[in-house]
Amino acid sequence: MIVNLGYTALLLALICSLYSIISARVYINNNKIQWVDSSRNAVLAVWFLLTLACLILVYLLTNEHFEIEYVASVSSRAMPWYLKATALWGGQAGSLLFWSWLMSSYTGIMMLRDWSNERDLQPYVITASMLTLAFFVSLNVFVENPFNVLWIDSFGNITSSMMRPDANLMFTPNDGAGLNPLLRHPGMIIHPPMLYLGFVGFVIPYSFAIGALAVGRTDGVWIRATRRWTLIAWLFLSLGLLLGGRWAYDVLGWGGYWGWDPVEIAAFMPWLTGTAFLHSVIIQEKHGMFKRWNMILIILTYALVIFGTFLTRSGVLSSVHAFAQSSIGPLFFIFITVTFTISLLLLFRGWESLASSKTLTSWLSREGMFLLNNLLFMGILVACFWGVIYPLISEIITGQKVTVGPPFYERTTGPQFAALLLLMGIVPLVAWRITTVNRIGHLIWKPTMISLLIPIISIISGIFNFAALLSLWLASLVFCVTIYEFYRGSIARSKSSGNSFFISLWQLISRNRRRYGGYIVHLGIVFMAVGIIGVEMFQTETQGTLAIEERMSLEDYSLVYKDLTEYPENDGRFVTKATLDVYKNNKLIGELEPRRDYYNISQQRMTIPDVYSTLEGDLYVLLIDWKPVGPQQATFKVYLNPLINWIWIGGFLFILGTLVATWPDQRDRHIITNNKSILQPF
């Protein structure tokens, strides 16, 4: 039976993972190249086997094999084919398998690179990454088997297992439970894969770091080898976080995009250390400093990736993201403890050899500011981590659970984010080694004067909130300094080459992709900050019950209730839809149709907002309730979210900047074409 093939593929994948670790060990002992080649082939075989397992599960999902427990729990007949296929990551067992498959894809691609310069690292890189992969595959093999079949005995008890229990028959439900309607959104379909790609991507730089520690190579070879991997992992993680926010805004119906929920923070924490790492490695590459910091940051990022997966998959914390409770929690805990301890032992063993060749003596240098940047990211991380584990710790110590909520995170991270913005504004103008306040002042006064325009305009337009003015000023400072940097560089280039300004700007960016890609990311952050300030500090709301043709107003907008329609949709929904005319300053500008979907099978309501969206802000309207008979009345909740679209625009710039930084340099391409061995992996 095809399920047995799927399970066998899983089992073989586990055996191959373990074999790759053993043969890597043999290579370390006898240094015979065929052993490391054999190990590499085993890594590739794992990818092939996991691909097979995933394809089989997708086949079972799309062909409605409800006798499989997993298929019955996450898909149903009424779902379209693409939702059935993507239900691969709709539940616990499947998403663990998908996690493993993505990770095996990374390790597989990594094995195809040219290793001649890092041959000594290779067996350790294989060991660290395949140990992680073997752990996840063994969860599927032993605990959360996606290929379990449903069985029924003569008393009608239903069980699930791989093998048929005695006196049982196979049980095939008529239909599956189906994916939760809340998750049937394009953002939700691609949000988990993006997060997973981000999560597992960090395993690669971590494995290289462990390799470098194990063989005692303290040069930056592991950082140069994994620079692009780190950026790609970071890109996906950022994209995953953004899509999650967008989904919440579109679907959850409270006008918010981020709720400081433990599960959100679990994905945010590796992003924080990963971001610090991305900045910090620049210093090691350029000046041979921060070697210990970089090791600490990548080890922490890896640990937080596993910790984040643990939090979301074990149900230890109370969260709105209600994942299935599972027995895999303790296994995760052991795995994190073991890998973290081994990493730290390796780090302490190599501690002395990781000393910098240069000393840091002043905060007023680019190195000093990068260190400050590291400290602030760690500060935000500590605040987040503390907030997540505080309930557990307080319960252990006092026996009483004490929790912190969004106000805690806002107040602890807010000032630190503001300080990071300030750094982002100053650092591009700070020289290496040492500088003086005068010199920075000389460079920064022009952009500072221009940036003051924004808070001045804000005060004139009636905003007196100090926190808002300060953060708006910081955002505009970063904007002005960053644009100034692009301008300065292009003018200098244009003068020396005689090319036009725009050609010079293009050359400036394409010849220093990482630096200017990074600045584009900074601009993205500025726009996001503006959007966040707008929504968090200036959101207004109102509510009202309207009869047909009645009007309600919020700021410059007003809404007139026109109609209510109710109809069944052929995908199992019953839809109630209100129609409203939208006026701005008494001019008709459009129509909104907020609605309520009711899913008959799962008895699940879903309130779908409708939004009138402009760069100034969103008019976000929810249909709360209605009276279908008699005098037609309906109740609406209306939010005005100022500037919110700048979050998504900023997010777009952010991703664009990361792509610019990730894109291969011309210099790299040169190396690749000269180095044909990369094309001959076998």
Partner 1 sequence: MTLYKEPTTQSNRQRNKFLLGGFLIISAIIYLIASTTQNTSKYYYTVDELVVEQTAAIGENVRISGAVIGDSISYDADNLTLDFTVAHVPGDSDEIVAKGGLARVLHEAIANPNQARLRISYQGPMPDLLRDEAQAIMDGHLNEDNIFVADTLLLKCPTKYEDELPNQTNN
Residues of span 77-136 touching partner 1 by CB under 8 A: 90-92
Select 79 or 371, whichever has its Cβ closest to partner 1.
371
Stretch that binds partner 1, among 10-18, 167-175, 332-340, 492-500 (CB under 8 A): 167-175
Write the CB contacts of 468 (distance below 8 Å, at least 6 apart in sequence).
458, 533, 537, 538
* Cα–Cα distance measured from residue 343 to residue 302, given in angstroms and rounded to the nearest whole number: 10
Stretch that binds partner 1, among 46-54, 213-221, 313-321, 495-503 (CB under 8 A): 313-321
* 379 to 398: interface string for partner 1, x by CB under 8 A: x--xx--x---xx--x----
Select 550 or 665, whichever has its Cβ closest to partner 1.
550
Tell which positions 623-652 bind partner 1, by CB under 8 A.
624-625, 635, 637
Contact status: 224 vs partner 1 (CB under 8 A): no
* 28 to 57: interface string for partner 1, x by CB under 8 A: ------------------------------
- Contact criterion met (CB below 8 Å) for 306 and 339: yes
Q: Nearest CA to 136 among 106, 103, 160, 107? A: 103
Residue 325: CB minimum distance to partner 1, A: 5
Indicate the SS3 state at residue 11: helix
Strand order in the sheet with 610-613: 540-547, 633-642, 617-627, 610-613
Residue 378: CB minimum distance to partner 1, A: 8
Q: Which of 8, 51, 160, 458 binds partner 1 (CB under 8 A)?
A: 160
Q: Which of 12, 24, 74, 420 binds partner 1 (CB under 8 A)?
A: 74
Question: Which residues face 569 on adjacent strands?
Answer: none
The four Cα atoms 368, 372, 377, 378 give a dihedral, to 10 degrees, of 100
Q: Which of 30, 438, 570, 603 binds partner 1 (CB under 8 A)?
A: 603
H or E element, residue 574: strand 573-584
Radius of gyration of the chain, Cα coordinates, nearest whole angstrom? 28
Give phi and psi for 546, each to the nearest 5: -120, 140
Stretch that binds partner 1, among 46-54, 277-285, 311-319, 648-656 (CB under 8 A): 311-319
Residue 447: CB minimum distance to partner 1, A: 25
Stretch that binds partner 1, among 13-21, 71-79, 264-272, 662-670 (CB under 8 A): 71-79
- Contact criterion met (CB below 8 Å) for 335 and 135: yes
The gap from C-alpha 486 to its chain's centroid, in whole angstroms, comes to 29
Tell which positions 512-551 bind partner 1, by CB under 8 A.
543, 545
Contact status: 325 vs partner 1 (CB under 8 A): yes
Stretch that binds partner 1, among 107-115, 153-161, 273-281, 437-445 (CB under 8 A): 153-161
Q: Nearest CA to 305 among 256, 236, 368, 248? A: 236
Write the CB contacts of 306 (distance below 8 Å, at least 6 apart in sequence).
132, 332, 335, 336, 339
Tell which positions 604-623 bind partner 1, by CB under 8 A.
604-607, 622
* Cα–Cα distance measured from residue 246 to residue 265, given in angstroms and rounded to the nearest whole number: 16
Select 164 or 670, whichever has its Cβ closest to partner 1.
164
Contact status: 440 vs partner 1 (CB under 8 A): no
Calculate the alpha carbon distances from 137 to 11, 13, 18, 103, 145 in Å. Answer: 8, 7, 11, 10, 10
Residue 147: CB minimum distance to partner 1, A: 16
Q: Nearest CA to 599 among 180, 84, 183, 248? A: 180
Stretch that binds partner 1, among 43-51, 55-63, 583-591, 600-608 (CB under 8 A): 600-608
Stretch that binds partner 1, among 67-75, 213-221, 550-558, 561-569 (CB under 8 A): 67-75
Q: Which of 4, 63, 318, 677 binds partner 1 (CB under 8 A)?
A: 318
Q: Which of 177, 190, 389, 575 binds partner 1 (CB under 8 A)?
A: 177
Q: Nearest CA to 44 among 102, 100, 105? A: 105
Select 275 or 416, whichever has its Cβ closest to partner 1.
416
Question: Which residues face 620 on adjacent strands?
Answer: 611, 639
Burial of 515 (0-12, 13-18, 19+ CB in 10 A): middle
Give phi and psi for 347, each to the nearest 5: -65, -45
Contact status: 180 vs partner 1 (CB under 8 A): yes
- The DSSP call for residue 89 is G
CA atoms within 13 A on the CB side of 250: 15
Give phi and psi for 148, each to the nearest 5: -60, 140
Residue 367: CB minimum distance to partner 1, A: 11
Select 72 or 110, whichever has its Cβ closest to partner 1.
72
Q: Which of 10, 16, 183, 239 binds partner 1 (CB under 8 A)?
A: 183
Number of residues that bind partner 1 (CB under 8 A): 82
Q: Nearest CA to 651 among 196, 190, 200, 235? A: 235
Q: Which of 115, 136, 293, 620 binds partner 1 (CB under 8 A)?
A: 293
Write the CB contacts of 311 (distance below 8 Å, at least 6 apart in sequence).
262, 263, 266, 317, 388
Q: Nearest CA to 283 among 419, 430, 487, 488? A: 430
* Cα–Cα distance measured from residue 451 to residue 478, given in angstroms and rounded to the nearest whole number: 8
Indicate the SS3 state at residue 53: helix
Select 96 or 655, whichever has its Cβ closest to partner 1.
96
The gap from C-alpha 121 to its chain's centroid, in whole angstroms, comes to 29
Residue 659: CB minimum distance to partner 1, A: 33
Contact status: 223 vs partner 1 (CB under 8 A): no
Residue 286: CB minimum distance to partner 1, A: 17
At position 205, the amino acid (one-letter code) is P
Contact status: 400 vs partner 1 (CB under 8 A): yes
Contact status: 176 vs partner 1 (CB under 8 A): yes
Residue 317: CB minimum distance to partner 1, A: 8
Stretch that binds partner 1, among 314-322, 482-490, 551-559, 642-650 (CB under 8 A): 314-322
Continuous H helices in 202-259 = 203-215, 221-251
Stretch that binds partner 1, among 42-50, 154-162, 226-234, 238-246 (CB under 8 A): 154-162
Residue 401: CB minimum distance to partner 1, A: 4
Residue 185: CB minimum distance to partner 1, A: 13
Tell which positions 351-370 bind partner 1, by CB under 8 A.
351, 355-363, 368
Residue 403: CB minimum distance to partner 1, A: 5
At position 486, the amino acid (one-letter code) is F
Contact status: 156 vs partner 1 (CB under 8 A): yes
* 233 to 272: interface string for partner 1, x by CB under 8 A: --------------------xx------------------
Calculate the alpha carbon distances from 252 to 249, 503, 600, 604, 613 in Å. Answer: 6, 46, 19, 13, 17
Q: Which of 416, 482, 490, 539 binds partner 1 (CB under 8 A)?
A: 416
